[in-house]
Amino acid sequence: MWRVLKIKRISKILLLMVPFTLLLSYHRTNIPLLASQQGNIFGSRGISTLRNFLQSRNKVYTEQVYVRPPPWSDSLPTIYAITPTYYRFVQKAELTRMSHTLLHVANLHWIVVEDSDRKSAMVSRLLEKTGLNYTHLNVHVAEKLNSKGSGQRNLALKWLRDNFSVNDSNAGVIYFADDDNTYSLELFDEMRYTKKVSVWPVGFVGAVRFESCKVNASGKVYAWDVKYAQGRPFAIDMAGFAVSLQLILSKPDVYFRLHGIPSGHQETKFLEDLITLNDLEPKADNCTEVLVWHTRAQAPPLYRGYGDPYIET
């Protein structure tokens, strides 16, 4: 009987020793300088070493967060993502979410245009921290338009035409990427080699699960699978197409129309001025895959006057 009790006591001692052994092993592996300390590891030297270790880990973490864009490649066409934005409570959250997607896209230039009389400090700081190639513009359109962001998109198109010439060999594509959408990384690979205008489905738009184009056996778009305003020549959402930079440069007078355009017709009027239906290039497996979604954040219910007003959210 006493032998059994002795074995049980030894087992308990061993079980108590295991966590301490693992803890010491962890510190020796992750903080070798502390493991080599003589005497009390909680002395001033040990605390200093621990502080330096934590600071170095924090530095590496910060660099990983803000310096992520892939190396620029001379062999890849540039994607110019044009994003109109305006102040609201969720603006920073949505721009942050979008920037974390764009950080994984090679050869991307982000053109962010604020609907404002001046550039906001918040957007300026956010863009600088991303490490992305970007251009920050602003223009305030006082009139109430049927398509929000049209004035901002037009300013971005003007900036591109002012900075690039149709006679230059500028391989690139323009995408109107609103800040309240969700984007698959595959989408940017699909659009990169657009010759004129490439198209694909868009999820959660027009009161249906997705809108798309219809593609025939020859790989040509011949109609549209939509519920809203089915008679539009180009019944497509802003997130559903990309345009060749060369095509935009070759037609310097084409902009989004700001007056006399019914709601939901900005895209079709813009594309009518650029191409014909036969020019469309269906992507995303002949428009059978959804790679972009309208997932705008819901405005949160907030208590007015609660919290520090100087803390940026």
* Alpha carbon separation from 131 to 100, 125, 191, 218, 255 (Å, rounded): 11, 11, 23, 42, 30
Which residues, listed in sequence order, are joined to residue 294 by a DSSP beta bridge? 181
Distance (Å, rounded) from C-alpha 279 to C-alpha 37? 72
Residue 182 phi/psi, 5-degree rounding, is: -115, 130
Question: The sheet that has 133-138: what strands, in order across it?
Answer: 133-138, 108-114, 78-85, 172-176, 241-244, 197-199, 280-282
Give the residue numbers annotated as catalytic, written as ranges. Answer: 267
Phi, psi angles (nearest 5°) of residue 87: -70, 130
Of 177, 195, 171, nearest to 283 by C-alpha is 195
CB atoms within 10 A of CB 194: 24
From the list 228, 231, 258, the residue with the least C-alpha distance to 152 is: 258
Identity (one letter) of the amino acid at 310? Y
